[in-house]
Amino acid sequence: MERISNRLLNWASLLEDKTRDQAVTTSRMPFIHPHLALMPDAHLGLGATVGSVIPTLGAVMPAAVGVDIGCGMIAVRTQFTREDVAGVAAPLSALREAIERAIPLSAGGRNNRVVATAQPRVDELTRMADDIGLDPADHVKDWQRQLGSLGSGNHFIEVSLDETDTVWLFLHSGSRGVGNRIAGHHIKVAQALMEKWWIDLPDRDLAYLVEGTPEFDAYIADLRWAQHFALLNREEMMDRVVRQTEEYFGRAVVERERINCHHNFTERERHFGKEVWVSRKGAISAREGQLGLIPGSMGTASYVVAGRGNPLALHSSPHGAGRQFSRSAARKAFTIDQLREAMTGIEFRDTDAFLDEIPQAYKPIDQVMADAADLVDVRHTLRQIVNVKGN
């Protein structure tokens, strides 16, 4: 751990100067308490650094939570093994294609209708929205059909084997278009208030809402709804992945374990003697013994972890590998042949649409995990055998 200042602690051994400068700027906001914690996967973000844990007194910065509210991971440990995989006559491409048919992929992806498994979840979200006076249709007209869809970018669905050759199902997604629109709305509200109050910010995306105001209360209510949408979205998709896995193996999945965690969210917590709002932007909660998920990049390992409850890190840990190349830079720097080489032995959709997701565009996950040694303990190491992504 590096103490950059009294208000900024850093766990990233690989840290670009621009990322460091951005984190320093955020840490100087007057309501930070006691300090900002920069995670090993930190990289440049909108306003605040992705891979940062931001505790605030009496205020929240919507852009510091992130625009994909509630984004996170879910994983299921099954009873199947490598031997079971080898015993199936159909190739793994059949399982990949079945998953791709069951779950809408890519930006803007939607279900044709609200299916039976999704309906109770849609009903739950509708009741929750009614209770807080939110109409999600004001942000996305057909938000119900987004439930159970993956998205694009670094979102993924994977079938993996752990160190004992046990099959895990693993996916990464968030609150989709409706969460993004809700975040964007409240970021604009905060920015307008800064202009109204003549508050000069070092970065307009550090605009904040003050606790006790109607704008703050509305954001927290909408935020919690979007976080719950993201959690249920992952549950719905995982249920579909389980069903396709059952069809592939010809027998029911026995869920030995299911873990679902956010990495773009805000919670009320107590740290260093005060109640604060902890915004984890690209970080997971890692209280002592708390289970979490840290995915690597496409083609590399992912990890099931248990938190160590590190107080200086505000009971947090990294959420993944963290980008080293922007998407446009990655497309210029790498080739489809390099992507194919990185994905050797993994069933995936062979297309240059995923070139910006090549593992070399990210920090080495092994280094990230080494930097996180005092934040989490590794319970399982997962290696992909099937990868599903949206364009």
Instruction: Tell me the residue ranges of DSSP E strands in 199-289.
Output: 209-210, 257-262, 264-271, 274-281, 283-285
Say whether pLDDT at 236 is over 90: yes
Q: Which of 172, 186, 319, 380 is catalytic?
A: 319
Both tokens of 157, joined, read 């669905």
User: Do residues 36 and 8 touch, judged by C-beta distance below 8 A?
Assistant: yes
- In tens, the pLDDT along 50-104 reads 999 999 999 999 999 989 999 999 999 999 999 999 999 999 999 999 999 999 9
Kindly give, in sequence order, each residue whose CB lies less than 8 Å from that of residue 192, ignoring residues fewer than 6 positions away.
Answer: none
Strands 8-10 and 36-43: parallel
**Percentage above 70 pLDDT, the chain:** 100
33 is annotated as an active-site residue: no
**Percentage above 90 pLDDT, the chain:** 92
User: pLDDT band at residue 229, thresholds of 50, 70 and 90?
Assistant: very high
- In tens, the pLDDT along 158-180 reads 999 999 999 999 999 999 999 99
User: pLDDT band at residue 108, thresholds of 50, 70 and 90?
Assistant: confident
Burial of 312 (0-12, 13-18, 19+ CB in 10 A): middle
- What is d(CA 312, CA 326) in angstroms, rounded to the nearest whole number? 30
* pLDDT of amino acid 153: 85
Both tokens of 151, joined, read 């998205």
Say whether pLDDT at 241 is over 90: yes
262: Cα within 13 Å, side-chain hemisphere: 25
- What is d(CA 150, CA 342) in angstroms, rounded to the nearest whole number? 23
Compute the radius of gyration of the chain from its Cα atoms.
20
Both tokens of 65, joined, read 């939570």
Residue type, 26: T
Say whether pLDDT at 367 is over 90: yes
- What is d(CA 133, CA 114) in angstroms, rounded to the nearest whole number? 23
The alpha carbon torsion through 27, 286, 80, 94 (nearest 10 deg) reads -20
Say whether pLDDT at 237 is over 90: yes
Q: Which of 193-207, 242-256, 318-332 has the lowest mean pLDDT?
A: 318-332
Determine the 3-state secondary structure of 221 from DSSP: helix
The DSSP annotation for 95-159 comes to HHHHHHHHS--STT---SS--TTTHHHHHHHHHHHHHHT--GGGT-TTGGGGTT---STT-EEEE
Q: Of 320, 87, 47, which is closest to residue 207 (Cα–Cα)?
A: 47
Both tokens of 66, joined, read 């992130």
Per CATH, the number for 2-389 is 3.90.1860.10
Both tokens of 268, joined, read 């009320």
Task: Classify each residue of 290-309 as buried b or exposed e, where b means 16 or more C-beta atoms within 10 Å of its C-beta.
Answer: bbbbbbbbbbbbbbbbbbbb
Both tokens of 36, joined, read 């900002």
- What is d(CA 320, CA 284) in angstroms, rounded to the nearest whole number? 10
Angle at alpha carbon of residue 42, lines to 293 and 348, rounded to 5°: 50
- What is d(CA 369, CA 284) in angstroms, rounded to the nearest whole number? 14
Tokens 């059952």 belong to 246
Both tokens of 302, joined, read 């992912």
- What is d(CA 152, CA 17) in angstroms, rounded to the nearest whole number? 28
- In tens, the pLDDT along 30-57 reads 999 999 999 999 999 988 999 999 999 9
